[in-house]
Amino acid sequence: MKQTDLLVFNSKGIYCPRAKVYLDPWRPVNHAIITHGHSDHARSGHKNYLTHHSNIPILKHRLGDISVQGVAWNEHFQINGVTFSLHPAGHIIGSSQVRVEYKGEVWVFTGDYKDEDDGVAVPYESVRCNTMITECTFGIPAFKWKPQQEVFQEINQWWKENKEERKTSVLFGYSLGKAQRILKYLDPSIGTIFTHGAIENMTEVLRPQLELPPTQLITKETKTKEIQGGIVIAPPSAHGSPWIRKLVPYETGTCSGWMAFRGARRRRATDKGFVISDHCDWPGLLKSIKASEAERVICTHGYTDIFSKYLRELGYDASVENTDYEGEKEEATTSTEKETV
Amino acid sequence: MKKFAALIEELDATTKTNRKVAALAEYFRQASESDKIWTIAILSHRRPPRPVNTTLLREYAAELAEIPLWLFEDSYHIVGDLAESIALVIPNDQMKSDQSLSEILEELILLKAKSEPEKKEYVQQMWMQLDYYARFVFTKLLNGGFRIGISQKLMTKALSQVTEVPEDELAYRLMGEWSPASTSFEELIFGRNEQAYVSKPYPFYLAYALENELEELGDVSEWAFEHKWDGIRGQMISRQGELFIWTRGDELVSDKYPELVELVNFIPEGTVIDGEILPFIDGEIGTFNDLQTRIGRKTVSKSILKKVPIVFRAYDLLELQGKDIRQASYQQRREKLEPLIEEISHPALQISKRLSFNSWEEVAVERELAREKRSEGLMMKRNDSAYRVGRKKGDWWKWKIDPLTIDAVLTYAMRGHGRRTNLFTDYTFGLWETNEVGKPGLVTFAKAYSGLTDKEFAQVDAIIKKTTLERFGPVRSVEPTLVFELAFEGIAFSNRHKSGVAVRFPRILRWRRDKAIADANTLDDLKALIPK
């Protein structure tokens, strides 16, 4: 089949000229289809948002009173003759891939995704297409995730050991997605689960949709003694902030795919790194692309040059497009960069 | 191997000294005799020689991971550590091997002589039998040094807890030439192997920088003074017809200084002298840079011997007539050293002059002459001080001149321009600072891009490429491993700098290969240089 430009990349985002709709645009537009609630994909300032039903509370929480329309998974809808539908991406709650079809040609934009079923997000669903627009945050063969049960066992064990030493366990993870995934698998029989405000707020928004253990927000009134031996879920930005001083004595743990690197662990000055990511690992990316049966692959963010080069060796028509998506950030990177005089 | 890998993982996971010591002690309590001796050897940088070169390791790894070599190389550039890259790309996470550390190391020793196909088969099957962390540790053993922040001091402390042998005694026993293949744990820790003792140096006594006002040191007549010569601290050992030169870094360097080895015919047997290896050109002490032209060489040519002759300037006498005299007072030791040097009367063996003063003012005046005399300042030693082990406060102090230098750690590197294109020559440096929860971190304080020779730049560039953590366009963050002495002309508090300090004309004075990153200065050291 002759390949068309059903979707193009311009300065505002991924654009469907025929439907006049943007996917996860990074500049304000009239019509935006949003894959999920992370801030590099769901930005403010668009006139009309369209997303999966379960994302609506997240978007409203983050972006305020926006005009947003919800659709269900696999629900086909037409815009100017182009057929769209959303399919689970397994990245975080509500995260979707966008399928775009016109005259028998199918494009899929994955947004962020992972093929592992984490028990929180609706599992990733492989969608057949001609062209796949994929992320490749962890697109080098150094990344292979362990099954999450193993990692959560490590986390609970770590919490137990810290508790025995009368220390508080502080676990860093994104407030949307990672935090709820952690919460889901913490063992509340070990102790109390505390939260930082950013985590608590987002979790409150999501509780109607998820079954999560109870959490206790740390406020000014919370006494250090009360927290001791418990586990605290905090956003990565809380690391090294004055807020954390209240938790002394504590041990820190960071949940991120980057923790696969020894250097990243040490640079982050974290006591313990737990390798757990909401993105595909290397085998996951390759498997998903193969299953889509796409002939053409466009890589948007991550190790795009290396990954697309390898895909070309495998026989795909693979290329790179620059976007403003960030994937899983290495927070330490941005902060140390600023330190350079 | 499982236990050793677990130990390394634990040591690597914490920056807390107490925890490291506890983990080591626990390991030493449980490990077999042969694993213990090998662990001590590895942690004191006595690895078996590399059996397989890194080019082959990369090929083996790429093949086993079923990826093209370029993809392995690109991944390695991102991961930044070869052993770690290999451990990550090999598709096995089950521990199937129950071989001990010593069994594996003995196999590695034999591996060196084997054919290439045999090497490949062995290495690949080992990789597939080890889980991720054990594979990382195994590959480190195969390939390179272990930099995991375990100092000799820390290991000695842990061993002392387990064996109840005092730390100072252990420090001595672990020094010098011994091989885990031929020395048992019992022999090393409790026994006396005459063969090994012939070349064994004593642990060096090191001074801290002066912290207090001079007057607080008490009566000036209780103190003796020497200039602090700017070369390589060394120990000269004459025993049983042989002469050995050791550096402070526990490195045997006799071969590099043939003019000193000649002294074997002049120094009585059973003599150990502490001193400084110095370049001595036309009757004057040369610069450290002169000395550096000798340090890096494997073979010493006639022309370099002529161009940069070396002398040994004696500070102290540790052994006389085969007797350890370290517990005698400094004064007593010097009273034996000085006539000995005079008697030997050889141009390559000089005495570091012992000075005494009538007042602290005179001491300060002498210090001002240091630059003129080509020294780094003054050493202050109590007349009644014993020769102690390691860095200790109280009896010895160093009082350096030119406070406007600092030892900093290279943290970022940027590619240079023009002639330096494609070489990492522009560096950012950090100093240690303890954060609010008591953890040391490196704070950026200066950039510098001059002061090294082209050859040194090339060497540093190679290390930067090997230790890169991350790339931000042309800038790379590197694993902190390199220490440089930076010099600068002025210093002031500054709000515009993250460190809170601005320095004027920073440049690299020299590459301190003899220092580990933990030896670099702190931000507080830097701030202490700011005039009040």
3-state helix/strand/coil string of B410-443: EEEEEEECHHHECCEEEEEEEEEEECCCCCEEEE
Q: Which residue of B71, B88, B441 is in closest CB contact with A306?
A: B71
pLDDT higher than threshold 90 for residue B506: no
CB of B378 within 8 A of CB of B399? yes
Residue-level pLDDT at B194: 66
Residue-level pLDDT at A329: 65
What's the rounded Cα separation, in Å, for the pair B239 and B394? 32
At A327, list the tokens.
């994937």
A339 in a structural domain: no
A334 in a structural domain: no
Residue-level pLDDT at B375: 84
Are residues A157 and A250 part of one domain? yes
CA B105 to chain centre: 24
What's the rounded Cα separation, in Å, for the pair A34 and A51? 5
Give the confidence band of A265 by pLDDT, cuts at 50, 70, 90: confident
pLDDT higher than threshold 80 for residue B10: yes
Q: Can you tell me the mean pLDDT for B182-197? A: 79
Are residues A112 and A72 part of one domain? yes
Q: Which residue of B65, B67, B428 is in closest CB contact with A340?
A: B428
Contacts of A306 in chain B (CB under 8 A): 71, 74-75
Give the confidence band of B474 by pLDDT, cuts at 50, 70, 90: low
CB of A301 within 8 A of CB of A327? yes
What's the rounded Cα separation, in Å, for the pair B407 and B518? 10
- Domains identified in chain A, total number: 2
- Chain A's closest residue to B472, CA to CA, is A337
Contacts of B445 in chain A (CB under 8 A): 341
Contacts of A146 in chain B (CB under 8 A): 93
Tokens 């740390």 correspond to: A218
A195 in a structural domain: yes
Residues 112-151 (A) with a CB less than 8 A from some CB of B? 140-144, 146
Q: Can you tell me the mean pLDDT for A184-197? A: 97
Region(s) of chain B under CATH 3.30.470.30: 205-400
Closest residue by Cα to residue B523 from B407, B428, B376: B407
Give the confidence band of B420 by pLDDT, cuts at 50, 70, 90: low
**Which of the two residues, B455 and B64, has the higher pLDDT score?**
B64
Give the confidence band of B345 by pLDDT, cuts at 50, 70, 90: very high
How far away is chain A from the Cα of B86, in angstroms, using its nearest Cα?
A: 8
Are residues A247 and A219 part of one domain? yes
Contact state of A339 with B67 under an 8 Å Cβ cutoff: no
Are residues A212 and A175 part of one domain? yes
Q: Can you tell me the mean pLDDT for A197-220? A: 96
The most confident of A93-107, B433-447, B513-527, by mean pLDDT? A93-107
Residue-level pLDDT at B197: 79
CB of B383 within 8 A of CB of B222? yes
At B438, list the tokens.
């008591």
What's the rounded Cα separation, in Å, for the pair A186 and A158? 11
How is B211-254 classified by DSSP, letter by letter? -S-GGGG--GGGEEEEEEESSEEEEEEEETTEEEEEETTS-B-G
Whole-number percent of chain B with pLDDT over 70: 94
Residue-level pLDDT at B529: 81
Contact state of B89 with A340 under an 8 Å Cβ cutoff: no
Residue-level pLDDT at A73: 96
pLDDT digits (tens, 9 = 90+) for B78-114: 776 789 899 999 988 889 999 999 999 999 999 999 9
Contacts of A264 in chain B (CB under 8 A): 469
What's the predicted TM-score (pTM) here?
A: 0.74
Q: Which amino acid is at A134?
A: T
Tokens 């954060």 correspond to: B435
- Chain B's closest residue to A308, CA to CA, is B71
**Sign of the alpha-carbon dihedral angle for B187, B193, B195, B201:** positive
Contacts of A245 in chain B (CB under 8 A): 436-437
Phi, psi angles (nearest 5°) of residue B110 = -75, -30
Contact state of A341 with B91 under an 8 Å Cβ cutoff: no
A73 in a structural domain: yes
Contacts of B14 in chain A (CB under 8 A): 271
Contact state of B470 with A333 under an 8 Å Cβ cutoff: yes
For residue A258, what is the DSSP state? G
Q: Which amino acid is at B384?
A: D
- Chain A's closest residue to B62, CA to CA, is A141
Whole-number percent of chain A with pLDDT over 90: 83
What's the rounded Cα separation, in Å, for the pair A100 and A129? 9
Contact state of B81 with A262 under an 8 Å Cβ cutoff: yes
Closest residue by Cα to residue B229 from B374, B369, B398: B374
Interface confidence, given as ipTM, is 0.92
What's the rounded Cα separation, in Å, for the pair A78 and A76? 7
Are residues A137 and A13 part of one domain? yes
Q: Can you tell me the mean pLDDT for B173-200? A: 81
- Chain B's closest residue to A307, CA to CA, is B71
Give the confidence band of B403 by pLDDT, cuts at 50, 70, 90: low
Give the confidence band of B312 by pLDDT, cuts at 50, 70, 90: very high
For residue A79, what is the DSSP state? E
What's the rounded Cα separation, in Å, for the pair B444 and B446? 6
What's the rounded Cα separation, in Å, for the pair A147 and A1? 39
How far away is chain B from the Cα of A88, in angstroms, using its nearest Cα?
A: 28
- Cis check for the bond before A249: say yes or no (omega within 30 of 0): yes
Closest residue by Cα to residue A120 from A62, A168, A178: A178
pLDDT digits (tens, 9 = 90+) for B258-283: 999 999 999 999 999 999 999 999 89
Q: Can you tell me the mean pLDDT for A166-173? A: 95
Contact state of A141 with B75 under an 8 Å Cβ cutoff: yes
B436 touching A (Cβ < 8 Å):
yes
- Coarse DSSP helix, strand, coil percentages of chain B, rounded to the nearest 5 percent: 40, 25, 35
What's the rounded Cα separation, in Å, for the pair A233 and A195? 5
CB of A259 within 8 A of CB of A236? no
Phi, psi angles (nearest 5°) of residue A266 = -70, -40
A282 in a structural domain: yes
- Chain A's closest residue to B15, CA to CA, is A271
What's the rounded Cα separation, in Å, for the pair A108 and B444? 45
What's the rounded Cα separation, in Å, for the pair A155 and A146? 13
B73 touching A (Cβ < 8 Å):
no
Contact state of B477 with A143 under an 8 Å Cβ cutoff: no
For residue B51, what is the DSSP state? S
Reported as type and span, the H/E element at residue A250 is strand A250-255
The listed CATH number (3.40.50.150, 3.30.470.30, 3.30.420.130, 3.40.50.300) that belongs to domain B205-400: 3.30.470.30
Between the CA atoms of A177, A180, A181 and A182, what dihedral angle is there, to the nearest 10 degrees? 120
Contact state of A340 with B444 under an 8 Å Cβ cutoff: yes
Are residues A131 and A14 part of one domain? yes
Whole-number percent of chain B with pLDDT over 90: 56
> Where residue A287 sits, what CATH number does that domain have?
3.60.15.10
A303 touching B (Cβ < 8 Å):
yes
What's the rounded Cα separation, in Å, for the pair B265 and B249? 26
Are residues A152 and A122 part of one domain? no
Mean pLDDT, all residues of chain B: 89
Q: Strand pairing partners for A132?
A: A108, A297
How far away is chain B from the Cα of A27, in angstroms, using its nearest Cα?
A: 24
**Which of the two residues, B193 and A313, has the higher pLDDT score?**
A313
Contacts of A337 in chain B (CB under 8 A): 472
Residue-level pLDDT at B490: 61
A240 touching B (Cβ < 8 Å):
yes
Which residues contact residue B252 at a Cβ distance below 8 angstroms, ignoring those fewer than 6 apart? B176, B177, B199, B244, B245, B246
Are residues A29 and A178 part of one domain? no
pLDDT higher than threshold 70 for residue A333: no
pLDDT higher than threshold 60 for residue B507: yes
A340 touching B (Cβ < 8 Å):
yes
B65 touching A (Cβ < 8 Å):
yes
Region(s) of chain B under CATH 1.10.3260.10: 2-143
What's the rounded Cα separation, in Å, for the pair A169 and A157? 11
Region(s) of chain B under CATH 2.40.50.140: 405-527
pLDDT higher than threshold 60 for residue A4: yes
Which of B79, B427, B433, B464 should be substituted to probe chain A, the one whose Cβ sees the most A Cβ atoms within 10 Å? Answer: B79
Contact state of B444 with A142 under an 8 Å Cβ cutoff: no
Residue-level pLDDT at B149: 62
At B279, list the tokens.
């370049």
A335 in a structural domain: no
The listed CATH number (2.60.40.10, 3.40.50.720, 1.10.3260.10, 1.10.357.10) that belongs to domain B2-143: 1.10.3260.10
Which residues contact residue B181 at a Cβ distance below 8 angstroms, ignoring those fewer than 6 apart? B106, B109
A116 in a structural domain: yes
What's the rounded Cα separation, in Å, for the pair B410 and B428? 6
Q: Can you tell me the mean pLDDT for A1-26? A: 90
- Chain B's closest residue to A250, CA to CA, is B437
Are residues A268 and A152 part of one domain? yes
pLDDT digits (tens, 9 = 90+) for A280-309: 999 999 999 999 999 999 999 888 888 999
> Where residue A250 sits, what CATH number does that domain have?
3.40.50.10890
How far away is chain B from the Cα of A157, in angstroms, using its nearest Cα?
A: 15
Least confident of A273-282, A291-300, B286-295: B286-295
Residue A218, domain extent: 148-274
Superfamily of the domain at B405-527: Nucleic acid-binding proteins (2.40.50.140)
Give the confidence band of A336 by pLDDT, cuts at 50, 70, 90: very low
At B234, list the tokens.
């060394």
Q: Which residue of A248, A338, A340 is in closest CB contact with B437?
A: A248
pLDDT digits (tens, 9 = 90+) for A224-235: 899 999 999 999
Give the confidence band of B473 by pLDDT, cuts at 50, 70, 90: low
How far away is chain B from the Cα of A249, in angstroms, using its nearest Cα?
A: 9
Which residues contact residue B455 at a Cβ distance below 8 angstroms, ignoring those fewer than 6 apart? none
